[in-house]
Structure 1
Amino acid sequence: GGNPQATIIGYDMKMSVDQAALINGTSSHVLDYDDTLVSFLGHPSVTLFPSLLALSEWHGKSGRDFLTAYLVGLQAGGTIGVCAGLDHYMAGWHATSTLGHLASAAGCAKLLGLNVTQTQNALGIAATQSSGLKRVFGTMCKPFHAGRSSQAGLMSALLAGNGFTSAEDILEGPQGFFQVLKGKVNEDVMGLLGLGWDVVNISQKYHASCHATHSPLEAAVEIVNSENIPLEAINKITIRSSKMALDAAGKEIPSTGLEGKFSIPYCVANALLRGETGTQAFTDEKVNQSEIKALMQKIKVILDPGKTALEAHVDVETMDGKKFSGFSDILQQIPPLSIKKDRVGKKFLDLCGSYLSKKKAEQILRKVQTLENMSNMKQIAEELSTPASKRKSRG
């Protein structure tokens, strides 16, 4: 476990700061229920929160320090993501991991107060470690990517702060990040720096599956509910999605709960049949039930070259030949902050419900919602540490 420097969330346990980032980052992505940022090409917070929490606890940083570093890391990751572009993602790189290394390094560099040269080195150290292949989606390696990127970014900043060096042009230089990992140098992006914050464009998840499943899921449910179509009356459902969506969530016949999270047919069938899209929907048993497989056989997902992101067009045809159509673009449906705050709060309490008492969960939520006023992040770390005696029984 190393030196007891930082809390392991949910346990009365501390480990070294880098191990805490790895474990908390991995566990935070296991459910695939975390936020998405288009410019980041993936899930930013799961790479930033664990490393910044561990480092803040270790150094006794304030909530404002933590949030400032989070914004810096998020902005750095999003900006590099725009430069990398879809070519990077479509080549097979898991951007949450590749860009997460850099975002975590940038955020930790800010939290540690590194100078420009040290920050360049931190990014260089992180970039040369950057990896993560999409081939492992639907396995335990995907959440491991998140934890590893958070850990690597933290270690990169610590190394740079102690004089460790790397290439200063690691992003745009010959045989650097962009050239090797199928990115590009986008000069237009440079002119946009400082004009806005990516944090306002974060999209939260309200279904515990890959974000590429959300648009077809919501469009199909809207059609069936608004038209009062009995499930037994459905002849077929045709979903038209982008290459990006199919690349991420194109598993046609999942056999495990993890694979189900990356299967558009399963996620649509599950939402229609059961109406529950939270964590309990993604077990091995539920993915393999005969009734869900029967409905999945009626669902066909096809590539629509005209679609470029996570939007989806859905057609439902009934046994008597009637056709109904719908469209959804989940990433364009970001609600106002007040509504988002309420929905995220309810989601948090729901996820904690089987683990913490309602009183304890509400106490943590209140402190998180006023994090900018916290004088020392050790306070929130202590709240997130839960002795076994205070946890709800899961048996």
Structure 2
Amino acid sequence: MDAPASLASLAELCAAPVTPAERAAAVRPLADTLGVMLAGLADPRAADLAATLGLSAEPRRARLPGSALHGAASDVALMAGFAAHLLDFDDDETEVAMAHLSAPVLGAALALAARAETPVAMLLDGYVTGCRMMLALGSMANPALYRAGWHATSALGSFGAAAAAARLLGLSPARAAEALGLAASGAGGPRGAFGGEGKPLQVGLAAANGLRAAELAAAGWTAAPGALFGARGLLGRMTGGALAPLRQPQAFPPPGFVTKLFPSCTATHAAVAELLALRPRMTAPPAEILCAVDPFVPAILIPGLPAGPDAARFSLAYCLAVAARTGALGPEAFEAAAFDADGPRDPEIRALMARVRVTADESLPRGPSGIATGAVVTLTAQDGSRLTGRREAAPGSAAAPLTDTQLAEKFAACLAPVARPSEARALWQRLLSPTDFPSAGALLDALPLALTDRKDPR
């Protein structure tokens, strides 16, 4: 197989200029991801991971934002990437990278920015650079990589993290190429991890892997030329050789970028949004919910009764049933208390889930990924009345962007475990003007503490 690109050509992206418009466009995704990360750090599982990694209050090389804990930069990156993805509330890119961009990239970037007086503009540049890298590799490897069963957030996130770290460490293009090659040795992550704690873990591992590869490249380590491309390279093996030529990514954010409104798999969002739009017009409670989606979507989701919150985020039936019953799909729907050992605790939600039917619709518009993100929802009420609605774009996408009010409300909901609503709103406004902070470290110091030393086991 001829190599469609080289590490050297890929590394040129690490030094490509970031425009003022791209820097400005990165502000809201950065702030949104910080909110989602803080919500993840407040989850008890983050304390488990921090204890396993040996993070402590003793000052060391890097501090975990949103905490008083320190550790090796790669461990801080792992924690930040894991926390940002733990609740599946982080942004997504559905068309080219087919991956959550911010969690792995910012996981690495924040770990470096938190240990030095990094200018905020440099943090933003590192973030945009890492996202571009994931998009560039996605343009080569997708949809073959995703359809082959790989979690693109993890597989491509290692290289996004490496590119962001290379930018923040000031690596030359030659050294950045070595970082990308070294990152290939630790990249991976199956879609089979969906619905379990391994999914956010592998995103955190991608952040740590990319940062560590950049640090090793800075120390003089080298990679084999065929580590990423070529007959035995990682991407070639992951895609079965179906690699397209390298394309320069479009300006950030890309058209497929989605800022999530619901803490669930992106494949559920258009359907949930359409159900919530139809619900006020119903004349009686729903007797049946029919949802038509792209034929590939069921392969992304998880059928049956979800055993807990992680699986429930990938259950279209659960998400629709909760939205129909409560008129919302927020973080409370995915709390551990909402589930018994055998599924959702609420008997009405369980009963409604049994009356959700999912079918395929070939007419929904598809982008470069070849997978439509829209949905057609039909609600049949108990009095026999019927409502049907079609939504071709998820809320938070370029076609249906979230309002400033929605973004601020989401941020406040994420910070609810650690800050009062007024404090969260004030912090959100400060984060929208990040260059007012004297450094990226000062910006991160403004975050409330969501995770401290774990004193007692769960």
> 1:146 and 2:197 equivalent?
no
> 1:299 and 2:362 equivalent?
no
The residue aligned with 2:34 is none
> 1:254 and 2:309 equivalent?
no
Which of 271, 283, 286 is equivalent to 1:216?
271
Q: TM-score, length-normalised on structure 1?
A: 0.89
Structure 2, unpaired ranges of 5+: 1-53, 339-343, 365-370, 453-458
Shift, 1:376, TM fit: 2.0
Kept in 1, the 8 Å contact 2:129–2:164? The answer is: yes
> 1:327 and 2:390 equivalent?
yes
Task: Give deviations 1:228-262, integer Å, cap 9, x for gaps.
Answer: 2321xx33222121244212223232121221111
Shift, 1:366, TM fit: 3.5
**Does the C-alpha gap of structure 1 residues 126 and 309 become closer, same or farther in structure 2, counting only changes over 3 Å?**
farther
Task: Give deviations 1:82-119, integer Å, cap 9, x for gaps.
Answer: 21112211211111111111111111111111111211
Which of 44, 62, 68 is equivalent to 1:6?
62
Identify which range, 371-380 or 290-299, moves more after superposition: 371-380
The residue aligned with 1:393 is none
**Does the C-alpha gap of structure 1 residues 105 and 334 become closer, same or farther in structure 2, counting only changes over 3 Å?**
same
**Does the C-alpha gap of structure 1 residues 176 and 335 become closer, same or farther in structure 2, counting only changes over 3 Å?**
closer
Which of 245, 252, 264 is equivalent to 2:297?
245
Which of 24, 29, 33 is equivalent to 2:89?
33
State the one-letter code of the partner of 2:251.
G
> 1:72 and 2:124 equivalent?
no
Identify which range, 252-261 or 90-99, moves more after superposition: 252-261
Which of 328, 349, 369 is equivalent to 2:432?
369
% identity of equivalent residues: 25
Whole-angstrom CA distance in 1 between matches of 2:104 and 2:133 = 12
**Does the C-alpha gap of structure 1 residues 112 and 327 become closer, same or farther in structure 2, counting only changes over 3 Å?**
same
Bigger share in helix: 1
State the one-letter code of the partner of 1:330.
A
Secondary structure at 1:300 match in 2? strand
Task: Give deviations 1:187-233, integer Å, cap 9, x for gaps.
Answer: 3x52xx2653335652111111111111111222223323x2321xx
State the one-letter code of the partner of 1:249.
L
Q: TM-score, length-normalised on structure 2?
A: 0.77
Which of 308, 323, 331 is equivalent to 1:271?
323
Kept in 2, the 8 Å contact 1:97–1:145? The answer is: yes
State the one-letter code of the partner of 2:232.
Q
Task: Give deviations 1:306-332, integer Å, cap 9, x for gaps.
Answer: 552221122233456554321123347
Kept in 2, the 8 Å contact 1:75–1:198? The answer is: no
Which of 18, 25, 36 is equivalent to 2:74?
18
Kept in 1, the 8 Å contact 2:103–2:203? The answer is: yes
Aligned residues: 383
> 1:230 and 2:284 equivalent?
yes
Whole-angstrom CA distance in 1 between matches of 2:230 and 2:358 = 40
Which of 103, 107, 118 is equivalent to 1:46?
103
Shift, 1:373, TM fit: 4.1
Secondary structure at 1:247 match in 2? helix
CA RMSD of aligned residues (A): 2.5
**Does the C-alpha gap of structure 1 residues 341 and 322 become closer, same or farther in structure 2, counting only changes over 3 Å?**
closer
State the one-letter code of the partner of 1:79.
A
**Does the C-alpha gap of structure 1 residues 337 and 209 become closer, same or farther in structure 2, counting only changes over 3 Å?**
closer
Secondary structure at 1:384 match in 2? coil
Identify which range, 338-347 or 244-253, moves more after superposition: 338-347
Whole-angstrom CA distance in 1 between matches of 2:230 and 2:294 = 32
State the one-letter code of the partner of 1:268.
L
Structure 1, unpaired ranges of 5+: 390-395
The residue aligned with 1:126 is 183
Which of 253, 260, 271 is equivalent to 1:198?
253
**Does the C-alpha gap of structure 1 residues 366 and 321 become closer, same or farther in structure 2, counting only changes over 3 Å?**
closer
Identify which range, 138-147 or 176-185, moves more after superposition: 176-185
The residue aligned with 2:37 is none
State the one-letter code of the partner of 1:344.
L
The residue aligned with 1:392 is none
Whole-angstrom CA distance in 2 between matches of 1:152 and 1:388 = 23
Secondary structure at 1:198 match in 2? coil
The residue aligned with 2:159 is 102
